[in-house]
């Protein structure tokens, strides 16, 4: 059995059902004047059919390669994602400069776990560069936060 395919097919099937149910609450219209529900409903049904086909075709199949490529380095992935969402969450409060500095510092520290000078210097350089290019040259209105810039 092709486990990964079956897993993804089942997830997609559930998703298509949920989308289809939601879409069926939209006005459907008639053929002359197609309503907002028609297109999503057709798409949800198609997605359901394709997922079902994927499920059925994977039942008898062997997996070509062993699923040994599950991530071993969870730390990197989790810290990048956490840093990314945290950046969005704290941007207004910290301000662009401070948020950018902390974000770069965390990620550079991940690459250089036993050094401090490279991450600190790199984060400072990234912050100055982004401030100059994006805030002052291109004039993107970033939030200043409590330190003001």
Across 86-115, b (16+ Cβ under 10 Å) vs e yields eeeeebeebbbbbbbbbbbbbbbbeeeeee
Contact call for residue 76 and another protein (CB under 8 A): yes
Distance between CA atoms of 130 and 61, rounded to whole angstroms? Answer: 51
What binding mask, one character per residue, do residues 10-49 give for another protein by CB under 8 A, x or -? Answer: --x------x--xx--xx--xxxxxxx--xx--xx-xx--
Is residue 4 within the footprint of another protein (CB under 8 A)?
Answer: yes
Residue 53 beta carbon to another protein: minimum distance, rounded to whole angstroms? 6
Q: What is the CA radius of gyration of the chain?
A: 24
* CA distances from residue 50 to 43, 44, 55, 70, 136 in whole angstroms, order as listed: 10, 10, 9, 26, 50
Q: Which of 1, 14, 28, 84 binds another protein (CB under 8 A)?
A: 84
- Positions touching another protein (CB under 8 A) are 4-5, 7-8, 12, 19, 22-23, 26-27, 30-36, 39-40, 43-44, 46-47, 50-51, 53-54, 57, 69-73, 76-77, 80-81, 84-85, 87-89, 91-92, 100, 103-104, 107-108, 110-112, 122, 126, 130, 134, 138, 140-142
């Amino acid at each position: 059995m092709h486990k990964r395919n079956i897993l993804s097919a089942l997830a997609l099937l559930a998703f298509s059902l949920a989308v289809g149910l939601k879409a069926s609450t939209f006005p459907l219209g008639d053929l002359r004047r197609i309503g907002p529900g028609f297109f999503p409903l057709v798409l949800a049904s198609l997605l359901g059919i394709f997922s079902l086909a994927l499920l059925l075709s994977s039942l008898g199949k062997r997996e070509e390669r062993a699923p040994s490529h599950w991530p071993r380095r969870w730390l990197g992935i989790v810290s990048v994602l956490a840093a990314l969402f945290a950046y969005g969450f704290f941007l207004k409060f910290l301000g662009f400069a401070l948020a950018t500095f902390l974000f770069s510092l965390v990620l550079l520290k991940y690459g250089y776990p036993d050094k401090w000078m490279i991450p600190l210097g790199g984060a400072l350089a990234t912050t100055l560069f982004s401030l100059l290019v994006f805030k002052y040259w291109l004039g993107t209105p970033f939030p200043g936060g409590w330190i003001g810039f």
